[in-house]
Chain A
Amino acid sequence: GQNIDQPTEMTATEGAIVQINCTYQTSGFNGLFWYQQHAGEAPTFLSYNVLDGLEEKGRFSSFLSRSKGYSYLLLKELQMKDSASYLCAVRDQNGANNLFFGTGTRLTVIP
């Protein structure tokens, strides 16, 4: 089975940096994804990590430590439009590489 934990809610100030953590337990780890979901909309892909280390994509970066079962999403230069839920998902190679999501972290960016 899979167990994915992330904080339920976070608040940060416009222009600041925020780090959203995710810890996971899975029997057949085969990659970790971060998705952004605005209220009432579909999740959209942000980043993917399968090896340890940092992946940077503009204002967004994602880090993975497989030995610790830990990832974080780093958002820099926060903008109001970054207010959304951020979903951590792990891919399990046991059973067709299905993607399993955490409950999501609702980020509110304040002026």
Chain B
Amino acid sequence: ETGVTQSPTHLIKTRGQQVTLRCSSQSGHNTVSWYQQALGQGPQFIFQYYREEENGRGNFPPRFSGLQFPNYSSELNVNALELDDSALYLCASRAWGFGTGELFFGEGSRLTVL
């Protein structure tokens, strides 16, 4: 069974640029959530995708957007990067409607904005 994988693991961007982060969900999972985790903080919910549609969103501006593909993989796009966007971005998947619904996390993509 393949776990959640994310790419890239580390990247550096400058303010104003755009970034795309990618995530492959765990086998058998149909729901993907994205979180932003600043240093020393808990993960902050960005949004969730189910059946290729966003079905939940946290308190993040529209420049944070995403996609889910038919194979349940997902992308997080951030436009007009700001210094405060520097964080670890975690992707998590789960099987909607099965079991306890716990999230399984990838190792994250660490974004640094200069």
Contacts and interface: CB of A to CB of B under 8 A. Distances in A.
Interface of A: 4, 31, 33, 41-45, 48, 50, 87, 89, 91, 95-104
Interface of B: 4, 33, 35, 40-45, 48, 50, 55-56, 58, 90, 92, 100-108
A43 B90 contact: yes
Given A31-B100, A42-B105, A45-B104, A99 B45 contact: yes
Nearest to A92: B56
Given A91-B101, A104-B41, A42 B90 contact: yes
A72 B25 CA distance: 30
B53 to A, nearest CB: 10
A101 B103 CA distance: 12
Contacts of B33: 98-99
B102 A45 contact: yes
Contacts of B35: 101
User: Chain A at the B interface: mostly helix, strand, loop or mixed?
Assistant: strand
19 contacts: A31-B100, A33-B102, A41-B107, A44-B105, A45-B102, A48-B100, A87-B42, A87-B43, A89-B42, A91-B101, A95-B55, A98-B48, A98-B56, A99-B92, A99-B103, A101-B35, A101-B42, A103-B42, A104-B42
A103 B40 CA distance: 8
A89 B33 CA distance: 14
Contacts of A97: 56, 101
Contacts of A45: 102-104
Contacts of A4: 42
A100 B36 CA distance: 12
B71 to A, nearest CB: 21
Which interface residue of A33, A87, A99 has the most chain B CB atoms within 10 A?
A99
B56 to A, nearest CB: 4
A96 B102 contact: no
Given A42-B106, A43-B43, A103-B41, 6 more contacts: A31-B101, A43-B105, A48-B100, A48-B102, A102-B42, A104-B41
